[in-house]
Structure 1
Amino acid sequence: MKRRAFLLACGSTAFAASGSARLRIGQIGTEHAHAAGKMAAMRALPELWEVVGVVAKEKGYEGVPTLTEEKLLGTPDLKAVAVETRMEDSCATALRCIEAGKHVHLDKPGALKHAEFKTMRLEAEKRGLTVQMGYMLRYNPAFELLFQAVREGWLGEITEIDAAMGKLGDARQRSIMGALPGGGLFELGCHVIDAVVTILGKPQGVSAFSTPTRDDGVKDNQMAVLQYAKATAVVRVNHADPFGGPRRRFNVTGTEGTFEIVPMESGKVNLSLTKARGAYKKGAQSFQLEVPKDRYAGEFTDLATVVRGEKKLAWDAAHDVAVHETVMRAAGAWEQ
Structure 2
Amino acid sequence: MKRIKIAVLGILHAHGLSNFKSILTHSEVFEFVGLCPDYETKEEMDKGQIPAEDFRRGFAELQKEFGKIPILSFEELLAYPGLEAVAIESYEADLTKYAIAAAKRGLHIFMDKPGGESVSDFARLIALAKEQNLVLNFGYMYRKNPAVIALLDMIKQGEIGKVTCVEAHMDCDHTDRVRAWLGNFQGGMTYFLGCHLIDLIYRIQGKPNKIIPMNTSTGISGVQSKDYGFAVFEYDTGPSFFKTSAAEFGGFMRRQLVVTGTEGSVEIKPLEYFKDGKMYTDMRVVTRKQNGKENWNAFGEVKTFGPIERYDVMLLPFAAQIRGEQENDYSYDYELGLFRLIAEVCGIKEEEA
CA contact (8 A) 1:203 1:326 kept: no
Aligned equivalent of 2:282: 268
1:118 to 94, 115, 123: 123
Scaled by the length of structure 2, the TM-score of the pair is: 0.84
Secondary structure (helix, strand or coil) at the match of 1:290 reads: strand
Query: Mean Cα displacement is larger for which, 98-107 or 53-62?
Result: 53-62
Q: Quick one: distance in 2 between partners of 1:293 and 1:312?
A: 21
Q: Quick one: distance in 2 between partners of 1:192 and 1:292?
A: 22
Q: Quick one: distance in 1 between partners of 2:307 and 2:142?
A: 12
- 1:89 paired with 2:89, answer no
Q: Quick one: distance in 2 between partners of 1:207 and 1:334?
A: 15
CA contact (8 A) 1:141 1:289 kept: no
- C-alpha deviation, 1:230, in angstroms: 2.1
CA contact (8 A) 1:164 1:235 kept: yes
Q: Quick one: distance in 1 between partners of 2:303 and 2:32?
A: 34
- C-alpha deviation, 1:256, in angstroms: 0.5
> What are the equivalent positions in structure 2 for 1:55-204 lying under 5 Å apart?
55-56=36-37, 57-58=39-40, 61-62=62-63, 63-204=68-209
2:6 to 9, 22, 25: 25
CA contact (8 A) 2:194 2:229 kept: no
Paired residue type of 2:272: E
Aligned equivalent of 1:40: 21
2:235 to 228, 237, 240: 228
- C-alpha deviation, 1:115, in angstroms: 1.5
Identity within the alignment, %: 29
Q: Quick one: distance in 2 between partners of 1:216 and 1:287?
A: 40
- 1:316 paired with 2:331, answer yes
Q: Which runs of 5+ in 1 are unaligned?
A: 1-19
Q: Quick one: distance in 1 between partners of 2:25 and 2:308?
A: 11
> What are the equivalent positions in structure 2 for 1:283-298 lying under 5 Å apart?
284-298=299-313
CA contact (8 A) 1:51 1:64 kept: no
User: Greater relative contact order: 1 or 2 (C-alpha under 8 angstroms, separation 6 or more)?
Assistant: 1
1:245-286 per-position Cα deviation (integer Å, ceiling 9, x unaligned): 011111000100101011112411111001149xxxx95424
Q: Quick one: distance in 1 between partners of 2:27 and 2:209?
A: 44
CA contact (8 A) 1:24 1:79 kept: yes
1:87-109 per-position Cα deviation (integer Å, ceiling 9, x unaligned): 22110100000000100001001
The number of residues matched between the two structures is 313
Q: Which runs of 5+ in 2 are unaligned?
A: 41-55, 274-280
CA contact (8 A) 1:31 1:84 kept: yes
Aligned equivalent of 2:249: 242
2:314 to 293, 296, 299: 299
CA contact (8 A) 2:187 2:229 kept: no
Secondary structure (helix, strand or coil) at the match of 1:298 reads: helix
CA contact (8 A) 2:176 2:223 kept: no
CA contact (8 A) 2:218 2:224 kept: no
Secondary structure (helix, strand or coil) at the match of 1:21 reads: coil
Query: Mean Cα displacement is larger for which, 64-73 or 134-143?
Result: 64-73
- 1:330 paired with 2:345, answer yes
- C-alpha deviation, 1:76, in angstroms: 2.1
Secondary structure (helix, strand or coil) at the match of 1:176 reads: helix
Paired residue type of 2:320: T
CA contact (8 A) 1:136 1:299 kept: yes
Q: Quick one: distance in 2 between partners of 1:148 and 1:185?
A: 27
- 1:218 paired with 2:232, answer no
Aligned equivalent of 1:14: none
1:68-91 per-position Cα deviation (integer Å, ceiling 9, x unaligned): 122122222211101111122110
Scaled by the length of structure 1, the TM-score of the pair is: 0.88
Query: Mean Cα displacement is larger for which, 326-335 or 314-323?
Result: 326-335
